[in-house]
Amino acid sequence: MFTVAVLGAGVVGLTTALKILEAGYNVVVIAQLFPGDARDIRYTSNFAGANHSSMAGDDKRQFKLDMDTFDVVWKMSEPGSPTEHLFMRTPIIHYYHDPVTKPDPLADTMPEYRKLYSEELRVGATSGTYFMSVTFDVWRYLPWLYSQVLVRGGRAVRAQVQHINQVLEGAFCEKPDALAVCAGIGARTLGGVEDENVFPIRGQTILIRAPWIKQCMGGKAQPGISTYVIPRPSGDVILGGTWFHDDWYPKPKEDIHEMILEGAIKLVPELAPAEVRGSGRTPTVEDIRPLIIEAGCGLRPGRKGGLRLEKDTVEVPNCKGKQVPIVYNYGHGGQGYQSSWGSAMEAVMLLKEGFEV
């Protein structure tokens, strides 16, 4: 039985590990950070919103990965499913301020897709869309993925890997027969990969408690940043957010924090608690400040040229020139959740092809 080492335990690494186990191989997940660890800027998956709202546009490969993932998570979120609690099925409402010139590929794929009626538009938007999708409860979902890897016989080793040769030479487990690199933003510095096309897309958020919010909304409520509101089944709601390229700053910034609050209450006044909504006055930032649980920020693993999902072979050091398959699955940017199952399925196909050579 082949053993595959999966480097990385974010949403991409764990989903890839699960699909490799399903294909009948042994798996060892090697990572510095795992679900349940204290939140750390080197582990992006903890900071995601996260919802499924494809941004693939014309990119057909990305769109297929997103839609393959949607098929999986829509089923997993079905009422009565044992995994229902990991998701919230919600309307996703986007408000657009610039003219929409291209057809929206989501029109043919997302349940209940329609254009917004003019009376539904907010904050000066000129058009908008509505469809049904899911949000992921990331702090439940990641431990669930990890538990599934372990339940299905996968193993886990905590290690800071300096170079992939350390894994290939058997420093953390037996010498693997193949390696899957799912290191997210870490792919930029990981020895043997050192992908200079990988860059951070910094996203800042605020987590609040507002269990009465049951739909996702996104739009431009104020200049400078986009606003989005993503509810989770736990009753927590993520307010965002920013999308800044090449910004490595690892902590929430105070000025952006205030901009997020202002944008959120403008776009979604329903965030204010019931007594404010019932009072007839216009809700303000001060009405949602007491609901704040914490501020966060994460580095989306952007990549020039898009996601790296490909196979190659790599030489095992000190092993008489032996080559083993290596599959790369990183650089998911702001789409790691919504393309996780699709990219994991493709990674497994590439791995199988690698073993057949």
Ligand X SMILES: Cc1cc2nc3c(=O)[nH]c(=O)nc-3n(C[C@H](O)[C@H](O)[C@H](O)COP(=O)(O)OP(=O)(O)OC[C@H]3O[C@@H](n4cnc5c(N)ncnc54)[C@H](O)[C@@H]3O)c2cc1C
- Cα 200 to Cα 45: distance, rounded to the nearest angstrom: 13
CA distance between the termini of the chain: 16
Tokens 């043919």 found at: 108
* Contact flag: residue 50 with ligand X (CB under 6 A): yes
* Contact flag: residue 13 with ligand X (CB under 6 A): yes
3-7 and 178-181: which strand pairing?
parallel
Q: Of 231 and 241, which has the nearer Cβ to ligand X?
A: 241
- Is 228 annotated to bind a ligand? Reply is yes
**Can the peptide bond before residue 192 be classed as cis, meaning omega within 30 degrees of 0?**
no
* Contact flag: residue 205 with ligand X (CB under 6 A): yes
* Contact flag: residue 342 with ligand X (CB under 6 A): no
- Is 300 annotated to bind a ligand? Reply is yes
| Cβ contact 336:301 at 8 Å | yes
Query: Near ligand X by CB under 6 A, which window of 103-111, 115-123, 312-320, 336-344?
Result: 336-344
Q: Of 200 and 354, which has the nearer Cβ to ligand X?
A: 200
Question: DSSP per residue over 150-193, as a string?
Answer: HHTT-EEEE---SBHHHHHTTSSSSPPSEEEE--GGGGGTSBTT
Backbone angles phi, psi at 207, to 5 degrees: -100, 125
* Contact flag: residue 203 with ligand X (CB under 6 A): yes
| Cβ contact 143:36 at 8 Å | yes
> Mask of contacts with ligand X, 96-135, x by CB under 6 A?
----------------------------------------
Q: Of 84 and 247, which has the nearer Cβ to ligand X?
A: 247
* Contact flag: residue 73 with ligand X (CB under 6 A): no
Annotated binding site for FAD: 44-45, 161
* Interaction site with ligand X (CB under 6 A): 8-13, 31-33, 42-45, 47-51, 160-161, 182-186, 190, 203, 205, 240-241, 298, 300-301, 330, 332-338
